[in-house]
């Protein structure tokens, strides 16, 4: 991964291969397609972080941009997965929010707040002054947070295909 990428460049790389990166295309997608796109993007973001800390001389700005894009992608995933009507999806979302809540103190130490909704918000100044080792501990290759997050995201991705099938079956049955 090249260093010194902007937030939008990271965001575009996370969403490469799907159309869910802008509001206009997101509005026209089915819930299942949107969940699928968001979970794929978040999986790419997690993979990106695994390699990001291997880069020599990564700048604070680059790190901030990557984490901000990660936060946006994480928040998109929560939004597209919430109120799905699927007990399994709802349970996975609850687990993801619980994982973030469990890491709340560590996240806040580096400038990432966990809102009541479970979504993330990044404080640029606090993140810029955070210890690189603390950031790496939360987002690096050996991060327990990322290791635990990834299977939940993969499961959400698998469940996304059933969301549209359930909606179609409901529509056909009630037509």
- For residues 121 and 28, what is the distance between their CA atoms, to the nearest angstrom? 26
Dist CA 156 CA 91 (whole Å): 10
What is the per-residue pLDDT for 1? 44
Q: Report how far apart, in Å, the C-alpha atoms of 46 and of each of 41, 142, 169 are.
A: 9, 11, 34
What pLDDT was estimated at residue 165? Answer: 60
Q: Where is average pLDDT lowest: 7-11, 37-41, 54-58? A: 54-58
Can you give the pLDDT at residue 32?
87
pTM equals 0.87
- Structure tokens of 54? 């291997």
Q: Is the pLDDT of residue 2 over 70?
A: no
Report yes or no: 160 and 35 within 8 Å, Cβ to Cβ.
Answer: yes
Confidence of residue 107 (pLDDT cuts 50, 70, 90): very high
Residue 131 pLDDT level (bands cut at 50, 70, 90): confident
Per-position b or e across 137-164, b if 16+ CB within 10 A of its CB = bbbbeebebbeebbebbbbbbebbeebb
Q: Average the pLDDT over 79-83 and give the result.
A: 89
- Residue ranges covered by each domain of the chain: 7-174
Decide: helix, strand or coil at residue 56.
Answer: coil
Whether 114 contacts 145, CB under 8 Å: no
Whose tokens are 């009507």? That residue is 85
Closest by CA to 85, choosing from 162, 171, 173, is 162
Query: What mean pLDDT do residues 108-135 have?
Result: 91
Q: What does the pLDDT average to over 13-18? A: 88
């Amino acid at each position: 991964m090249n260093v010194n990428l902007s937030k939008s460049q990271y965001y575009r790389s996370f969403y490469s291969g799907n159309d869910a990166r802008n509001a206009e295309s997101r509005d026209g997608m089915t819930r299942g397609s949107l969940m699928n796109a968001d979970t794929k993007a978040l999986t790419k973001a997690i993979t990106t972080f695994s390699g990001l800390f291997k880069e020599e001389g990564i700048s604070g700005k680059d790190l901030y941009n990557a984490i901000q894009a990660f936060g946006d992608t994480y928040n998109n995933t929560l939004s597209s997965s919430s109120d799905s009507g699927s007990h399994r999806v709802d349970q996975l979302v609850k687990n993801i929010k619980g994982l973030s809540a469990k890491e709340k103190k560590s996240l806040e130490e580096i400038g990432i707040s966990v809102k009541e909704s479970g979504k993330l918000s990044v404080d640029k100044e606090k993140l810029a002054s955070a210890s690189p080792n603390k950031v790496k501990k939360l987002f690096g290759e050996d991060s327990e947070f990322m290791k635990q997050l990834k299977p939940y995201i993969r499961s959400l991705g698998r469940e996304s295909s059933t969301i549209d099938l359930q909606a179609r079956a409901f529509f056909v049955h009630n037509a």
